[in-house]
A and B are shown apart, each in its own frame.
Chain A
Amino acid sequence: MSDVIAQATGLVKTYPPRDKRSTPFTAVNGIDFDLHRGEAFGFLGPNGAGKSSTMRMIACVSPPTAGTLRVLGMDPAVDGRRIRARLGVVPQDDALDTELSVRENLLIYGRYFGLSTQHIDDQATRLLDFAQLSEKAGERVEALSGGMRRRLTIARSLINEPELLLLDEPTTGLDPQARHVLWDRLFRLKQQGVTLVLTTHYMDEAEQLCDRLVVMDGGRIVAQGSPAALIAAHATREVLELRFGIGEQAAALDKLRQAVAGDRIEELPDRLLWYTAEGDAALAAAHTLGLTPVTALVRRSSLEDVFLALTGRTLVD
């Protein structure tokens, strides 16, 4: 686990202005990280946090503007080809040729890696089985559902038996069932020893899949650790969610803040979040104050709460 597979120090990505009227845009603003062999590592953050730009630099398809980056012990600026030969990439938009068949997509991709047709054929059979797509091998990609396409993209990314698999928003746009199938497949890969790096703005995904993660916001890393450690450090054990009738929330918030000194209470447009060790006790206290919420829910803290505590904003707007 201590074997570092990728490492960044002071990593910066600034894009040049798109036209004469715009200014350069810094997407990643000086981040450090170590990725260890065999782990599942997550970049968590809202859209525009710099997750995808970071992934593109690790994938050696976007040169860093400043800082140092080593992937598989090599410098992407010098050995981009050699590094990419050992990576697997699952882009956000699938990037499949929809006019070609499932198997042809694998064939083309395998050829880019210089694999023989025979080898690709053997691999394709195995990978399509893994991706639960064996019956679709001869079909055109345009006939596949979103979940199937994503599984095919993952199968494709494994054709060169990569040591490091990069997944950019792997389940965005998929229905809940398709997400769970995908998580299962990714979990199996992890068990086989493939190092997974993924970006996501779903905290449940990060909690399910990641051993360690960094929380990004505005191009910087604002926190890092295991999901459990982050929750322990930045949130309470439980959260009480209170919803009030229209126009009653502001008054309730004032009342709670006056009565409860020690606990943090966050206000969202539609509800209040009361961070507390004992949710049921807090609810009883609210009733004692004469508050009558429309609904009340006690739940465990999640990474969403961590993100809210760190940035004052929710992950998915």
Chain B
Amino acid sequence: MPTTTAPPVMALRFYRYCWLHYRRNWKGTIVISVANPLLFLIAIGAGLGTLVGSDLAALGGVSYLAFFAPGMLAAASMQNGMIESAFPVSYHRMPGRAYPVAVATPLEPVDVLNGHALFMAVKVAIGAASFCAVMFAFGVATSPLAALVLPAAALTGFAFAMPVTAWAVTLPDVRPVQTLFKWVVMPLYLFSGTFFATTQLPEAAQHLVALTPLWHGVELCRTLTLGTATWAGSLTHTAYLSAMALAGYLIARRNFRRHLHP
């Protein structure tokens, strides 16, 4: 006779499903989540970057590669957080897919959310770790604080994953997800200080950029990597990203219940 158990155990049951499913599907995302960011790092950071004079004031007195790499790490992590949430959640929530199946068993919608969120966090962390390994191999990190850049990047990705999860579970199909990538991910990617210092933007635009979540992720990762982090700055960035993750998670809890046990 099966027994019902504590919620964390229930969440792990769905987490294990995610891995089994991923084992059959990893080829679909490995290129965009791991290979692409590394190619960008090499082509732009180490390639194009050599055309940019080093020690430019705007870059904070470091090489373009050293400036670009942590920014790229944050941007790639954001993208991974979105890839791990938007497509799978809107896919699994449809009739006949994994979510409705799981919530017809002893699992509650919140168990499914917790299990999948854990999987997203682990996937985002793995993506960030592989990027960090290459980044460190290039000798970019100049400070012991750089050890903190992995959790910082993972937090950045997770902060995006949670609100997107909350949204994706309400979608009737995956089409809006493509719109998200075109109109939200792309502009953030380009204008959040990944490729160039935002101090080069007009002042009004700088204020605007400072409100966007990716800018906080980029600043956090960059200052930690280059050893220029301040307590005030790092705590602000971390608080911003944590609040975003938490708010997204809480809305997701409500939305999962409403849409999976309607």
List A residues at the B interface (Cβ < 8 Å). Answer: 15, 59, 61-63, 80-82, 84-85, 87, 89, 91, 93-95, 97, 99-100, 104, 107-109, 111-115, 160-161
B144 touches A (CB below 8 Å): no
Q: Is the CB of A111 within 8 A of B17?
A: yes
Residues of chain B within 8 A of A107, CB atoms compared: 20
- The residues in B between 113 and 152 inclusive whose CB is less than 8 angstroms from any CB of A are none
Q: Is the CB of A89 within 8 A of B108?
A: no
Q: Is the CB of B2 within 8 A of A91?
A: no
Name the segment of B92-100, B202-210, B211-219, B243-251 touching the other chain: B92-100
Residues of chain B within 8 A of A97, CB atoms compared: 21, 98
Q: Is the CB of B106 within 8 A of A85?
A: yes
Q: How far is the CA of A81 from the CA of B17 in the complex (A)?
A: 19
Name the segment of B3-11, B34-42, B78-86, B176-184 touching the other chain: B3-11
Partner of A109, one of B3, B5, B24, B105: B105
Q: Is the CB of A112 within 8 A of B105?
A: yes
B253 touches A (CB below 8 Å): no
Instruction: Report the contact-size class of chain B (Cβ under 8 Å from the partner).
Output: 20 to 34
Q: Is the CB of B261 within 8 A of A95?
A: no
Smallest Cβ-Cβ distance to A161: which chain B residue: B1
Q: Is the CB of A61 within 8 A of B96?
A: no
List B residues at the A interface (Cβ < 8 Å). Answer: 1-5, 9, 13-14, 16-17, 20-21, 24-25, 95-98, 100-108, 260-262
- A selection of 16 A-B contacts at a CB cut-off of 8 Å is A15-B262, A61-B260, A81-B106, A81-B107, A82-B4, A89-B104, A91-B101, A95-B95, A100-B24, A108-B20, A111-B17, A112-B105, A114-B3, A114-B9, A115-B2, A160-B2
Smallest Cβ-Cβ distance to B96: which chain A residue: A93
Return the 3 tightest CB-CB contacts between A and B, nearest first: A93-B96, A112-B105, A113-B2
Residues of chain B within 8 A of A85, CB atoms compared: 2-4, 105-106
- Across the A-B interface, how many residue pairs have beta carbons closer than 8 Å? 78
Q: Is the CB of B261 within 8 A of A112?
A: no
Residues of chain B within 8 A of A59, CB atoms compared: 104
Partner of B106, one of A15, A62, A104, A113: A113
Q: How far is the CA of A63 from the CA of B109 in the complex (A)?
A: 13
- A101 vs chain B, min Cβ distance (A): 9
Q: How far is the CA of A100 from the CA of B98 in the complex (A)?
A: 12
Q: Is the CB of B105 within 8 A of A84?
A: yes
- A2 vs chain B, min Cβ distance (A): 24
Partner of A99, one of B25, B104, B106, B108: B25
For A62, A81, A82, A107, which residue has the most chain B Cβ atoms within 10 angstroms?
Answer: A81
Q: Is the CB of A112 within 8 A of B262?
A: no
Residues of chain A within 8 A of B5, CB atoms compared: 114
Residues of chain A within 8 A of B3, CB atoms compared: 85, 114
Q: How far is the CA of A107 from the CA of B21 in the complex (A)?
A: 12
Smallest Cβ-Cβ distance to A93: which chain B residue: B96
Residues of chain B within 8 A of A91, CB atoms compared: 96, 100-101, 104
Q: How far is the CA of A161 from the CA of B16 in the complex (A)?
A: 22
Residues of chain B within 8 A of A84, CB atoms compared: 104-106
Q: How far is the CA of A99 from the CA of B106 in the complex (A)?
A: 23
Residues of chain A within 8 A of B95, CB atoms compared: 93, 95
- B115 vs chain A, min Cβ distance (A): 10
Q: How far is the CA of A160 from the CA of B106 in the complex (A)?
A: 11
Q: Is the CB of A111 within 8 A of B13?
A: yes
Q: How far is the CA of A99 from the CA of B102 in the complex (A)?
A: 16
- B47 vs chain A, min Cβ distance (A): 38
- B12 vs chain A, min Cβ distance (A): 9
Q: Is the CB of B20 within 8 A of A104?
A: yes
Known: A59-B104, A61-B104. A95 touches B96 (CB 8 A): yes
Residues of chain B within 8 A of A61, CB atoms compared: 100, 103-104, 260-261
Residues of chain B within 8 A of A82, CB atoms compared: 4, 106
Q: How far is the CA of A59 from the CA of B105 in the complex (A)?
A: 9
For A87, A108, A161, which residue has the most chain B Cβ atoms within 10 angstroms?
Answer: A108
Q: How far is the CA of A80 from the CA of B257 in the complex (A)?
A: 13
Smallest Cβ-Cβ distance to B98: which chain A residue: A97
Q: How far is the CA of A93 from the CA of B96 in the complex (A)?
A: 5
Q: Is the CB of B97 within 8 A of A80?
A: no
Q: Is the CB of B107 within 8 A of A95?
A: no
Residues of chain B within 8 A of A87, CB atoms compared: 104
Q: How far is the CA of A143 from the CA of B31 in the complex (A)?
A: 27
Residues of chain B within 8 A of A114, CB atoms compared: 2-5, 9, 13, 106
Residues of chain A within 8 A of B98, CB atoms compared: 97
Smallest Cβ-Cβ distance to B105: which chain A residue: A112
- B260 vs chain A, min Cβ distance (A): 8
Q: How far is the CA of A62 from the CA of B104 in the complex (A)?
A: 10
Residues of chain B within 8 A of A81, CB atoms compared: 4, 106-108
Residues of chain A within 8 A of B97, CB atoms compared: 95
Q: How far is the CA of A62 from the CA of B259 in the complex (A)?
A: 10
- A256 vs chain B, min Cβ distance (A): 47
Q: How far is the CA of A59 from the CA of B98 in the complex (A)?
A: 17
Residues of chain B within 8 A of A161, CB atoms compared: 1
Known: A100-B24, A114-B13. A62 touches B261 (CB 8 A): yes
Smallest Cβ-Cβ distance to B107: which chain A residue: A112
Q: How far is the CA of A97 from the CA of B260 in the complex (A)?
A: 18
Q: How far is the CA of A90 from the CA of B104 in the complex (A)?
A: 10
